[in-house]
Structure 1
Amino acid sequence: MTDSTTDDPRADDPRAAPGKALLSLCARRLLAHGPSARRALRLLPPQLYPVLFQAAFQDGRTLVLQDLVATWPFPLLSFRDLLGQRFPQERSHKSCIQAVISAVVELLRRELEDSFLACLEVAKHQSQHRERGSKRRKGPSSLSPAPLPVEIRADLFVNATSFPILREALGISPSSLLLLKCRDFHAEELPAAGTAALLGSLDPSGLRRVELRFNNLGMAGLGLILPQLSHFQDLLSLQLPYSNLDLRRPLPGLDAAIRCLAAHLGKLPRLKELNLDSSRLSGKLRQLFSDLESPLESLQLAFCSLLPSDLTFLSQSLHAPALRKLDLSGHHLNENLLQPLQLLLEEASASLLHLDLMECHLTDTRLEVLLPTLCRCSRLRCLGLFGNPLSTPGLQSLLRRTGVLRDLRLVVYPYPLECYIQDPTSGHPVEVDEERLAAVGAELSRMLGSSGRAGTLWTTSLCPHGALNYLTP
């Protein structure tokens, strides 16, 4: 279930709009007849089911939705195709979504019960055949094949609320009769054991993305989950932000635990994207990445307490020349880290598309040191610098110097120092002067326009701006 737009080529055809509107109106009038309309569903041609589904969803007719699912005449029921841009976000449609899910589960329950009974019948015949065969010792007779498992395809977003529902749905029949295929799996605030159990219930083929956010896994939790992940040989993206992983303290058995984590990461041959934001990895990157045999193309290590040795390792690794996205936000880029960062950017300069250095204590002076290397990243499209103490002249210099980056389309810049209102007692900045900020933004826009870069967006907004997809389709 997604909110993606439809691929129907007629979606933007104005000639199709009147016909669609009339058909939708007729469907809503039909459904307004209540029980009699529901009884007539089986008499209607299959072509009308999609428009009836859309009308029932928009009008909140949950019973009709359940009847439509129960008699659905097509092999695929997709919210994406049925609702497209009209996919609702309002809470008022929650009951409709629940009705569809309940109807699907009920339909599966009936089909699986039938399949289970068929399995028992086959087993009975097999048992009788073995008994007869043990007496006659003749060759095996032909038996009906066992029923095929029911295949469910879904991208899953699971949290503490939906976990019990999903666990119950997955337990409605023997596991051999239920095959759950998933491309994207996202879990938030779940215990490690529950997450591991869900991952263990998925079909190993086809899973591309796993994101486990705010799950407080720690070393022990990752030790439960990573062995499950090693079964997913198609996995491209592994997101483990805010996992409470701390490798800084020299605890007994830490090196062995890191080697175990590294070994499991090494069992993901197609892994291209790794997010370990807010893990404390000081000095441990070399060990943690030691078994990765394919280069990572997207690496997010924000607020990871990295040391110069970590950045030096990355600059010398197989990953540097392949990096398309790099996030090192939250690191204090003083003189100790600035030099290895320059080496890393040099190695990644031919491939890097997206660089985030937010809240990195970048002053005007340090940015001037970094700019020559930054401007050699010739394919750079997105640059994040929010939260750094830069002045208006520093931003203007950045704008002029990055004019050589012809692909640069987005820069998220910080509030300039001059735009802060300071507390008269402490001298600390307390709020932003919106008028000053607007004036700076207008001047930067004027500079972009005069240099022929009006299509480049310079903004202080941290809202998503259509982030690039770094994974192959």
Structure 2
Amino acid sequence: MSTYNPPTLQQLALDALLRNDAIDSFDLDHLPTMLFPPLFLEAFNGRHTEILKAMVAAWPFSYLPLGPLLKTNDVEMLQAVLDGIDILLTQTVLPRKLQVLDLRVVHQDFWDAWAEKEDSVCSADVLIKKQVPDYNLGYPLRQCFQVVTNLALFFSLNKHQTCLLQWAQERKDSLQLCCLKMKICDFPLEIIREVFNMFQPKYIEELEINTNQVMYFLSFFGHFLGEMRNLLKFHLHQTHFNFSLMNTVKDVKMCAAQFFSQFSKLNHLQHLYVNGAHFSYDNMKELFRCLKNPLESLSMVFCHLSVSDLKHMSECQRLYQLKHLHFYGVLFSESCFKRLQILLENISETLQTLQIENCRMTDSQLKVLLPTLIHCSQLTLVNFYDNDFSTPVLKDLLQCMANLSKLTVERYPAPLECYNDMGNVVAERFSQVCRELKDILMAKRQHKTLFFATVPCTHCWMRCVYDMKTRLCHCWQERGD
């Protein structure tokens, strides 16, 4: 027997208001505040653009989190909201209730509550009292309408971005554009300059750059980086780097020094991720000298670090509060590890995650670090994948790790004895050795997440993994011993 669920009085009221494509401003003036968000949702999902314009102009809260609703590149609905902002900006009644339009994908709970979803994390009543979700840039803003967004600039502007930027350019005297997170991937530099003329760099908190024009880009971008006074996270990725007759080692050092000098202006930087060979050739001295704020995270990928680089790193007091240290594909010389040990000693009381992956560390290099690793009592995660350790030295490492009670995630490489002369995994030997290694840990403490893994297969790129049981990749299963 079917059950009939009659529409609620609220739904009937919303249906009546949406019956026409336009809505009278008198209706909105007398519309209860609690009906605005559900009516806005209905109008947005039903593509009632004229109603949407009127509702934005009459929005009764100081904050409108539009981002969660713009899940597709729907320029028409964005334009309708911007048209509503135009109506709002021409109003002579001050102060305006709506002050911030947020285009980031945040505060989904705002809409979930008004849509009365069962899994909503807050109720509509709470949002009525609060009105504005937790939003704070952390520094004073001009008293004008604010549009907050994140920008991902990949190769060219998409329709959504073009619509917003063209609209904002014509209203730059009455708007404040704030971009908190920006990603740039091989984007035309002349357009980047125009973007920063509208989105002031000082509001950017997270920046990620991917470029294959390293010299040209660093020379161009240094000025803008120096203006990012509130930058918290910075990712710099190099796609590839080609020397030309003009790009000598001396040119690279000079360009890198000029770029790194801008770090002296980044007073809030906490997380730094660098990827690329242009950070080699003894270029790190300038970077570590210019750091002004203690870092929490440092990640270096495919960087060629010299003894001099490690010396300056180990002596930089701005690194002495590191919580997260990550090296991937960094080839250290034998003499570098004493300096790396000194750095680990200086951060042993704060370090929570340590990842030294694919660095082809040898037994002798690991032995230099062992006396220090045992004192890193705050570690919760370690990752030593893709290093060249023998079984005896790996056992020494596990003896150290067994004393660290806070470890919850541990990743270790399969020892060299697990491979035959051809570089293939010997399945039985792999399983047996990994069981023995696991027992070293379990003799002192229970592990939570523990993996032993081989290097990736050159055919399927999968690893053979031991985590209480052996899982071989398909290629190695067929190949056998």
**Which TM-score bucket, shorter chain as reference?**
0.5 to 0.7
User: 2:445 — aligned with what?
Assistant: 452
List per-residue Cα deviations over 1:99-136 (Å, max 9, x = no partner): 54333333334555779xxxxxxxxxxxxxxxxxxxxx
- Taking a change above 3 Å as real, the CA distance of residues 332 and 200 of structure 1, as seen in their structure-2 partners, is same
**1:100-249 equivalent positions in 2, closer than 5 A:** 100-111=77-88, 149-160=144-155, 162-163=157-158, 165-172=160-167, 173-212=170-209, 214-242=210-238, 244=240
- Taking a change above 3 Å as real, the CA distance of residues 276 and 374 of structure 1, as seen in their structure-2 partners, is same
User: 1:385 — aligned with what?
Assistant: 384
Q: Counterparts of 2:43 and 2:241 in 1: how far apart (Å)? A: 47
Q: Counterparts of 1:103 and 1:460 in 2: how far apart (Å)? A: 53
Between structures 1 and 2, the one with greater strand share:
2
TM-score, length basis structure 2: 0.67
**1:253-402 equivalent positions in 2, closer than 5 A:** 253-280=251-278, 281-364=280-363, 366-390=365-389, 397-402=396-401
Does residue 64 of structure 2 align to residue 74 of structure 1?
no
Q: Counterparts of 2:382 and 2:77 in 1: how far apart (Å)? A: 42
List per-residue Cα deviations over 1:440-470 (Å, max 9, x = no partner): 87777776566433445547699xxxxxxxx
- Taking a change above 3 Å as real, the CA distance of residues 113 and 34 of structure 1, as seen in their structure-2 partners, is closer
- Taking a change above 3 Å as real, the CA distance of residues 191 and 31 of structure 1, as seen in their structure-2 partners, is same
Once the two structures are TM-superposed, the CA of residue 204 in structure 1 deviates from its matched residue by 4.9
Secondary structure of the residue aligned to 1:275 is strand
Does residue 46 of structure 2 align to residue 61 of structure 1?
yes
Q: Counterparts of 1:415 and 1:229 in 2: how far apart (Å)? A: 42
Q: Counterparts of 1:357 and 1:224 in 2: how far apart (Å)? A: 33
List per-residue Cα deviations over 1:269-321 (Å, max 9, x = no partner): 22222222123322111134333333333222221111121111111222332
User: 2:72 — aligned with what?
Assistant: 94
- Taking a change above 3 Å as real, the CA distance of residues 103 and 210 of structure 1, as seen in their structure-2 partners, is same
CA contact (8 A) 2:305 2:332 kept: no
Q: Bigger shift: 251-260 or 179-188?
A: 251-260
User: 1:126 — aligned with what?
Assistant: none
Q: Counterparts of 2:413 and 2:319 in 1: how far apart (Å)? A: 27
Secondary structure of the residue aligned to 1:155 is strand
**1:404-423 equivalent positions in 2, closer than 5 A:** 404-414=403-413
Q: Counterparts of 1:113 and 1:440 in 2: how far apart (Å)? A: 74
List per-residue Cα deviations over 1:29-64 (Å, max 9, x = no partner): 87778951765784753313334555677xx53337
1:48 to 31, 35, 42: 35
Secondary structure of the residue aligned to 2:275 is coil
Q: 2:185 corresponds to which letter in structure 1?
A: E
Secondary structure of the residue aligned to 1:427 is coil
List per-residue Cα deviations over 1:131-179 (Å, max 9, x = no partner): xxxxxxxxxxxxxxxx964311123333235456424422321422221
Once the two structures are TM-superposed, the CA of residue 369 in structure 1 deviates from its matched residue by 3.8
- Taking a change above 3 Å as real, the CA distance of residues 412 and 199 of structure 1, as seen in their structure-2 partners, is farther
Q: Counterparts of 1:391 and 1:30 in 2: how far apart (Å)? A: 74
- Taking a change above 3 Å as real, the CA distance of residues 441 and 202 of structure 1, as seen in their structure-2 partners, is farther
- Taking a change above 3 Å as real, the CA distance of residues 263 and 154 of structure 1, as seen in their structure-2 partners, is same
Q: 2:183 corresponds to which letter in structure 1?
A: H
Q: Counterparts of 1:247 and 1:295 in 2: how far apart (Å)? A: 34
Secondary structure of the residue aligned to 1:373 is helix
Q: Counterparts of 1:33 and 1:446 in 2: how far apart (Å)? A: 70
Give the number of equivalent residue pairs. 391
1:36 to 19, 22, 38: 19
Once the two structures are TM-superposed, the CA of residue 218 in structure 1 deviates from its matched residue by 0.9
CA contact (8 A) 1:193 1:224 kept: no
Secondary structure of the residue aligned to 2:294 is coil
CA contact (8 A) 2:151 2:179 kept: yes
Once the two structures are TM-superposed, the CA of residue 402 in structure 1 deviates from its matched residue by 0.6
Q: Bigger shift: 245-254 or 219-228?
A: 245-254
Q: Counterparts of 2:77 and 2:148 in 1: how far apart (Å)? A: 15
Secondary structure of the residue aligned to 2:228 is coil
- Taking a change above 3 Å as real, the CA distance of residues 247 and 301 of structure 1, as seen in their structure-2 partners, is farther
Unaligned 5+ segments in structure 2 are: 93-141, 457-481
- Taking a change above 3 Å as real, the CA distance of residues 401 and 273 of structure 1, as seen in their structure-2 partners, is same
Secondary structure of the residue aligned to 1:233 is coil
CA contact (8 A) 2:306 2:333 kept: no
CA contact (8 A) 2:296 2:323 kept: yes
Q: Counterparts of 2:203 and 2:211 in 1: how far apart (Å)? A: 24
CA contact (8 A) 1:295 1:322 kept: yes
- For the aligned residue pairs, the C-alpha RMSD in angstroms reads 4.2
TM-score, length basis structure 1: 0.68
Secondary structure of the residue aligned to 1:223 is helix
Unaligned 5+ segments in structure 1 are: 1-21, 116-146, 463-473
CA contact (8 A) 1:445 1:458 kept: no
Q: 2:152 corresponds to which letter in structure 1?
A: F
List per-residue Cα deviations over 1:223-247 (Å, max 9, x = no partner): 2222112222222222112265689
Secondary structure of the residue aligned to 1:263 is helix
Q: Counterparts of 1:263 and 1:369 in 2: how far apart (Å)? A: 33
- Taking a change above 3 Å as real, the CA distance of residues 157 and 340 of structure 1, as seen in their structure-2 partners, is same
CA contact (8 A) 1:265 1:291 kept: yes
Secondary structure of the residue aligned to 1:301 is strand
List per-residue Cα deviations over 1:169-205 (Å, max 9, x = no partner): 2232142222111322222332333334323322455
